[in-house]
Amino acid sequence: MSRKSLEEEEEEEEEGNKTTLHGKNCKSEALRLYLEASLELKETEMPTAQIDHTWPSYILQSFQSAGQLESSNHSLSVYSYFGAYIRLLYHLFGLDGPFEVTVQHQQDVVNLVITYLKGSVNYPILFLQINPREWFLLESKRRQSDNLIRSAFRDIRESSLLTPAITGISVFGTRLALYKYDKSTNCDTPPAIVPHREYLNDLAPTEWWDCDINDVSGRQLLLQEVENARRFEGN
């Protein structure tokens, strides 16, 4: 009787071990499926833009290198596109004119500010706010970018706004969202979204970042804003 009980206990223990192992395998499989789904979602949310080859080859090379750097070393991702955008801005504004590219830090992002030198004063005429690409999927980071762009408008309007309007561009990797402040109306666009009192509404929707520096729409947007910013050259 006691021997039978011992055998039964051994069988129950073996069965328990199988159940535990099965549970671990299920968890591993669930984790694998979750990671695969997350990657698929990321690819869906952030499709690869079709390269606009009308950019000079050295500009395309800089952005390709920046993307590779960000993918391989996330600790440096906030600065991954830093050099590429500086190079692009000097390509657009030139080195021998009255324009300078200056660097400003706002919390954990970097602003590249294009200033117009008039006399001994540098007036901001356009700025790009650089955010890591992977932050784009986080509403909190898009909202932070939105807040910082509007805060920059407030600071500029009170101190050194030379032009009747100024453009700020929120950048996540190569994705662009256009913001504008109009001095005559004291309005900025797109209009800020007010938080709902009862539920968590999206305060910085992904649709605002509807252009990519690598595709035709992004290139046209940036060229148009550069043309607008340069309109006051010589005045």
Question: Amino acid letter at 221?
Answer: L
**In this structure, are residues 171 and 131 in contact, taking their beta carbons and an 8 Å threshold?**
yes
Q: Where are the beta strands (DSSP E) in 90-174?
A: 99-106, 109-118, 121-131, 165-172
| CA 80 vs CA 35, 53, 191: distances in Å | 24, 21, 30
What is the predicted pLDDT for the residue at 105? 87
Regions of the chain short of the pLDDT cut 50: 1-4, 19-24, 26-27, 31-49
Residue 106 CB-density burial (10 A; 0-12 exposed, 13-18 middle, 19+ buried): middle
pLDDT given for residue 147 in this prediction: 95
Give the 3-state secondary structure of residue 30: helix
Dump pLDDT digits (tens) for 28-46.
555 444 444 444 444 444 4
pLDDT at 63: 92
Report the alpha-carbon distance of residue 222 to residue 94 in Å, rounded.
Answer: 15
Instruction: Map out the domains of the chain as residue ranges.
Output: 1-45, 52-232
Per the structure block, which two tokens stand in for 15? Answer: 């069965």
pLDDT tens digits, residue range 107-127? 888 899 999 988 888 889 999
Q: For residues 166 and 155, is the Cβ–Cβ distance under 8 A?
A: no
Maximum distance among all Cα pairs of the chain, rounded to whole angstroms: 105
Name residues whose C-beta falls within 8 Å of residue 59's C-beta, 6 or more positions apart in sequence.
Answer: 84, 87, 88, 91
Global pTM reads 0.75
